[in-house]
Amino acid sequence: MANYEIHEHDILVIGAGGAGLRAAIEASAKGVSVGLVCKSLLGKAHTVMAEGGIAAALANVDSRDNWEVHFRDTMIGGKMLNNWRMAQIHAQEAPECVRELEQWGAVFDRTKEGKILQRAFGGHTYKRLCHVGDRTGLELIRTLQDKGVHQGIDVYMECTVTKILKDGDKVSGAFGYFREDGRYVLFKAKAIILATGGVGRSYLVTSNSWEYTGDGHALAYDAGADLIDMEFVQFHPTGMVWPPGVRGILVTEAVRGEGGILRNSKGERFMFKYLPEATRADYAADETEAKKWLEDTLSGRLKTEYKRPPELSTRDNVARAIYTEVKEGRGTEHGGVYLDISYQNAERVKKKLPSMYHQFKELADVDITQTPMEVGPTMHYIMGGIRVNADTAETRVPGLFAAGECSGGMHGSNRLGGNSLSDLIVFGRRAGRGAVDYTHKLGSAPQISESQITEAIEELEIPFKRQDGINPNDLVKELHTIMGTYVGIFREEKDLQTGIEKLEELKKKFKLVKANGTKVFNPGWHLCRDLKNMLISSEAIARSALSRKESRGAHSRLDYPKTDDSLGNENTSVSKDGETMKLEKTPLNKMPDDLKELFAKKEPAHA
Amino acid sequence: MREATLKVFRGTDYETGEFKTYKVPVEDGMVVLDAIHYIQKEIDPDVAVRWNCKAAKCGSCSAEVNGKPALMCKTRMDHFASDTEIQVQPLKTFPLVKDLVTNVAWNYEVNKKITPFTPAKDADWTFFQEDIERVQEFRKCIECFLCQDVCHVLRDHNRKDAFIGPRFLVRTAGLEMHPLDKANRIESLKDHGGIGFCNITKCCTEVCPEDIHITDNAIIPLKERVVDEFYDPVMMLLKKIFGKKQK
Amino acid sequence: MNQTKSALAPQKPLSTERRDIWWLEPALVAIGFGLFIIYATWRAFENNFYEIGPYLSPFYSPKIVLDWWKFSPALLILWVPAGFRATCYYYRKAYYRAYFLSPPACGVGGINALGLSQGKKYCGESTFPLVIQNIHRYMLYLAIAVLGFLWYDAILACIWQNQLRIGVGSIIFIANCLFLSAYTFGCHVFRHLVGGKLDCFSCSQTAKTQFSLWEAVTKFNEHHMFWAWVSLFSVAITDFYVRLIASHSISDLTLIGPPL
Ligand code: SF4
Ligand code: SF4
Ligand code: FES
Ligand code: FES
């Protein structure tokens, strides 16, 4: 039997992005012992890639903003499928969480009055995104990291958790390995907070890093939690499309927030065509009005009476629009559309979008102050995830909590840009508190079961024993083809069924993956285990997508192009049932009347 | 299709490890990290490399390419003449783990010792863009540790015992120049930080992928603050007489 | 952590995997400084051809005449600009690299130059002798005084027989002073003293003024290396020009006013 080292904490946080760090800080501030595990080095989490900003109704720039408007924007953006309570908590607590960041040393861009500056973003009625140029995520991570390391949190870097251990139905710990040398590790913990992010690596064209293999989704699923709304996968409308090596890398929405214009290869500003009837009135009627809005924005005027340009429609819309333009033959040379900011003053562009400027300059030889960028949709975010209690972030497994991208419900069927960073800090904090309360209430410490550990070790060892097995990288390639072809932006019954069949085959092949070499920093071996998580989350996406027979938010069905109101009050939920995936439809929580009224109110209307 | 030849360091220590040669097909706009990924996918799945963002934003993929510390995801293959070999090896300043991965834990230890941001209790959190422009430059740092790697104090003289390195001078500068920070890190900068070990030869600035003017904007201003407090008799006297200025 | 793996890569002086001509820059710097130092030393000791008409060589300005001083008057003043430049942050970088190979270039194995005080361990500027570099601000004060004299000389270089007279030399003198000012007022210490030492630029009216000053100095400071070289050459050229006229090798062309 391989041996393993043991660490003991009251609370173990898995994932050190924004949500994980925020949760760890909250918990340790309350005096419990906290361990923080991350697959990469500390501070490298995918949160650093978030560029545009943090949405919070501070009303620094537009005094008409408040949490109610933010709440309403979020719900409308999510096509009312959101967990209303999460959306409410989020809108209410985001401003406080942002101020907290500032007090911990985050240095946001300032207004002329010396307050936090906010910018416009898709789907947000008012200028709401607190930002630092276009590297807001980095600022958030660094702030939390520096706060965290001075609080006595034990950080376990480059460590992958492969199994949640339970005592009866309660969480008792986690098992995993250190990537550096493959040594095994057991964490004893009374509560576990999952903050592992998303599932992007299941897709070929994605803005996500290698870490995004749906670990939290799969760990929770295996531990008995249920995943909701997994059909809602957000394709960010603007990823780089060229050169091939950078395909999928994010081009921040802030480009459009700062006035970037989308055109097809014929030079048409096509977004006007794609505004859905329901929200058309909230956007500029024509180029002239869009131009006026921009002039007001550029002149630093805080409020403007003009309506936003159509490029600032919600992400699901813009992604579909771009996809359609390209498909119908109006795409660019490399299969994208043009995003143009070059008509603005070059110095301003460099100041406001420095990392975009460098990204294009260095990776694509394009000077965005001179020429338009080529962009196309890229898999970016999953709205679905582990079902949690809105107030405590607890899953249905006692002692298991989840926050951030791996949790579900907050964003409904489509997430607004900027709501992700705020989600992380709001619910990271909630999860930290929730977990602490749980451990206080918990009587005796739960017991670790040796047999669960043996299983976990077995699972990790076995790829080394299959000398003529399959290279896991080959299976990943197959997975990419399946997800890209059958479970992409536009979906159809037939395709989804084929996709699911193919995934089943892939699951069989997965039983044959092999690893070469030793356990010392061996990415091939690591992938053998991560692949399992990718398969679970991919299957959840495909099955959920098949079950939702309508188009809503990010889920677009060619065979059911309309939104079906009768399906708007149920979530899709998947959970583990022996060896199969069980799919259920569960009713949405009922929104209280006072919140419902917000949607009837005319004022303040989308400006 | 054009092919490139890569010599990649393989092994878990410098005595037994060696450079292994790989042929990799080159696509338009390819970067060195793409080539390493190609090797992982098609040839040796166990090549160890760190990466995350592939967009020069996370600072994971630091290595030395043809002897120069660089981010692999930012180093274009077409940067090199097609008939030459490209040599890729791990950061020399840190202990080797395997292949292109080194143990950078020391940096995290150093970071812990820096006095964190300490605002006044009653701060009103109004400050202006001009107050923070300097600080924002320092906060661009992605902790790639390329500057730590290239700094001769750490690289050639291995004075990790006495010198915190440019990355953490940058961090300290970001704290010291924050308009609302009240802590004083100048003494510890001189004694524990070892700012005097830096001889401002600017290699850190040369390699910084975020174009932070590490030496000019962070280290030298800090050195001058140290002079104010510890080397300039007139300033020291003035401080004695008028008391320490409220920051 | 696994101890067997804690070995560091071997690093030998001057060893590198760099493939570019990394030695070119330090070599050029070494030659450039070398030539200047040789020229300046020769001229300082020459004690001749430094003054003619309205022109006084910058090497000899301000001219200090002391009865008991038997050597060149240049030696009484040259230590100021020499000391100023020797402790300048840019020059330090340049000569640590070019002359002390500490390090010769980035990623090239360096040696422990001047590691005198603590045996063989590298201590950089934290101990004697290099800790003395911290007097740079005093050198700045003196250098500003000398620069004042040079401006005074430059103005005198435009006056001959109580009339305005502009010759090629006058223009060289003025240009030299402009370059020297761009160098001197782009000094890192100056940048620190005028405003860089503040943490808050908006907190008071004085702070706001200091901020504008700091911004202006920063403009020059960003190109400090450039001004360091330009002004180095311009001083040498100015002196050489004076020597050419004073030794009657050429004569100064008059553009405006009475001839020399
Ligand atoms: S300037 Fe200083 S900190 Fe930077 S590399 Fe040189 S010695 Fe190291
Ligand atoms: S200062 Fe620059 S080189 Fe140093 S760690 Fe930060 S980003 Fe990297
Ligand atoms: S992979 Fe993030 S910096 Fe290269
Ligand atoms: S730093 Fe160069 S003159 Fe002061």
CATH code for the domain in which residue B111 is found: 1.10.1060.10
Instruction: Compute the half-sphere exposure of residue A486: CA atoms within 13 Å on the CB side of its CA.
Output: 24
pLDDT score at A475: 96
Query: pLDDT tens for residues A443-469?
Result: 888 999 999 999 999 999 999 999 889
Question: Is residue A271 assigned to a domain?
Answer: yes
Task: Say if B126 falls within a structural domain.
Answer: yes
Lowest model confidence (mean pLDDT) among A166-170, A303-307, B120-124: A303-307
Give the per-residue pLDDT at C118: 54
Of A333, A348, A378, the residue that ends a domain is: A378
Taking only Cα atoms into account, the Rg of chain C, rounded to an integer number of angstroms, comes to 22
Q: Express each pLDDT in B7-53 by its tens digit.
A: 999 999 999 999 999 999 998 889 999 999 999 999 999 999 999 99
User: Hey, are the CB atoms on B157 and C122 less than 8 Å from each other?
Assistant: yes
pTM: 0.93
pLDDT of residue A604 exceeding 90: no
**Is B51 in the same domain as B127?**
no
Together in a domain, B89 and B151: no
Residues B226 and B131 in one domain: yes
Buried b (16+ CB within 10 A) or exposed e, A226-238: bbbbbbbbbbbbb
| Contact predicate A252/A51, CB 8 Å | yes
Residue A191, helix vs strand vs coil: strand
Taking residues A173-186, what's their average pLDDT? 96
User: A144 alpha carbon to ligand 3 midpoint, in Å?
Assistant: 20
Residue A59 belongs to a domain? no
Contact C17 B67 (CB under 8 A): yes
- Alpha-carbon distance of A533 to A218, in angstroms, equals 5
User: Per the CB < 8 Å rule, is C9 touching B13?
Assistant: no
The pLDDT score that the predictor gives to residue B245 is: 53
CATH code, B14 = 3.10.20.30
8 Å CB contact of C2 and A114: no
pLDDT tens-digit readout, A393-443:
999 999 999 999 999 999 999 999 999 999 999 999 999 999 999 999 998
Q: Are residues A265 and A368 in the same domain?
A: yes
Q: Which domain holds residue B36?
A: 3-102
Q: What is the mean pLDDT of residues A318-334?
A: 93
State the nearest Cα–Cα gap between C192 and chain A, in angstroms: 22
How would you write the pLDDT of chain C (260 residues) with one tens digit per residue? 344 444 777 778 889 999 999 999 999 999 999 999 999 999 999 999 999 999 999 999 988 888 888 888 899 999 999 999 999 999 999 999 999 999 999 999 998 866 655 556 899 999 889 999 999 999 999 999 999 999 999 999 999 999 999 999 999 999 999 999 999 999 999 999 999 999 999 999 999 999 999 999 999 999 999 999 999 999 999 999 999 999 999 999 999 988 88
Q: Name the A residues in 178-217 with CB < 8 Å from any C CB.
A: 180-181
On whether both A244 and A366 belong to a single domain, the answer is yes
Instruction: For residue A491, tell me if it sits in a domain.
Output: yes
Please say which residue of B74, B102, B130 terminates a domain: B102
pLDDT at residue B125, rounded to an integer: 95
What confidence tens digit (pLDDT) does each residue in A540-583 have? 999 999 999 999 999 999 999 999 999 999 999 999 999 999 99
Pocket mutation for ligand 2, best pick of B106, B135, B142 (most atoms within 8 Å of C-beta): B142
HEC per residue, B94-153: CCEEECCEECCHHHHHHHHCCCCCCECCCCCCCCCHHHHHHHHHHCCCCCCCHHHHHCHH
ipTM comes to: 0.94
A542 located within any domain: yes
Question: Could you give the percent of chain A with pLDDT greater than 90?
Answer: 85
Query: Buried b vs exposed e over A195-208: b needs ≥16 C-beta within 10 Å?
Result: bbbbbbbbbbbbbb
- Chain B contact for A374, CB < 8 A? no
A128-132, A305-309, A335-339, C184-188: least confident range: A305-309
Tell me how many residue pairs between chain B and chain C have CB atoms under 8 A apart: 166
Number of structural domains found in chain B: 2
Predicted pLDDT of residue C1: 39
Q: For residue A179, what is the nearest residue in chain B, using CA coordinates?
A: B48
* Cα separation, C128 vs B219, whole angstroms: 20
Same domain for B119 and B203, yes or no, is yes
The rounded Å distance from CA A154 to ligand 3 centre is: 25
Partner-chain contact A147 B116, CB within 8 Å? yes
CB contact set of A211 (below 8 Å; sequence gap of 6+): A39, A40, A45, A46, A196, A197, B52
A275 and A373 in a single domain? The answer is: yes
Higher-scoring residue by pLDDT: A378, A300:
A378
Same domain, B67 and B170: no
Task: Check A522 against B46: CB less than 8 A apart.
Answer: yes
Chain C positions in Cβ-Cβ contact with residue B156 (cut-off 8 Å): 11, 13, 103, 109-112, 122
Residue A208 has φ and ψ, to the nearest 5°, of -90, 155
Check pLDDT > 50 for residue A284.
yes
- For ligand 2, whether the C-beta of B104 sits within 6 Å is no
Q: Is residue B91 part of a domain?
A: yes
- Whether B247 is covered by a domain: the verdict is no
Q: How far apart are CA A278 and CA A275, in angstroms?
A: 8
Q: Does B203 contact ligand 1 (Cβ within 6 A)? A: yes
Residue A605 has pLDDT above 50, yes or no: no
Is the per-residue pLDDT at A606 higher than 50? no
Can you tell me the mean pLDDT for A112-132?
Answer: 94
Q: Report if residue B175 sits inside a domain.
A: yes
d(CA A298, CA B149) in angstroms, rounded, equals: 42
CATH number of residue A543's parent domain: 1.20.58.100
- Best mutation target among A42, A47, A48, A204 (most B Cβ atoms within 10 Å) is A48
Interval B192-242: pLDDT, tens:
999 999 999 999 999 999 999 999 999 999 999 999 999 999 999 988 888
Confidence label for A215 from pLDDT (cuts 50, 70 and 90): very high
A353, A378, A403 - which closes a domain: A378
Residue-level pLDDT at A337: 95
Contact B151, B201 (CB under 8 A): no
A355 and A488 together in one domain: no
Count of structural domains within chain A: 2
DSSP string, C9-28: PP--TT-----S-TTHHHHH
Measured from the CB, is residue B210 less than 6 Å from ligand 2?
yes
Please tell me if residue C139 touches chain B, with a CB cutoff of 8 Å: no
Cβ neighbourhood burial of C51 (10 Å; 0-12, 13-18, 19+): middle
- Cβ within 8 Å of residue A170, ≥6 positions away: A397, A398, A399, A442, A446
pLDDT recorded at residue C4 = 42
Last residue of a domain, one of B47, B82, B102: B102
Q: Is residue A445 part of a domain?
A: no
Domain that holds residue A314: 236-378
Residues B115 and B95 in one domain: no
Q: Does C4 touch chain A (CB under 8 A)?
A: no
Separation of CA B56 and ligand 3 centre (Å)? 4
C6 touches chain A (CB under 8 A): no
Clarify whether residues B27 and B115 are in a common domain.
no
Confidence at residue C116, expressed as pLDDT on a 0 to 100 scale: 58
pLDDT at C114: 66
Say yes or no: B237 and B122 in one domain: yes
Whether residues B110 and B215 share a domain: the answer is: yes
Domain end (from B102, B121, B147): B102
Whether the CB of C2 is below 8 Å from some CB of chain A: the reply is yes
- Report which of A136, A151, A64, A61 is spatially closest to residue A101, judged by C-alpha positions: A136
What spacing in Å lies between the alpha carbon of C196 and ligand 2's midpoint?
Answer: 22
Same domain, B130 and B197: yes
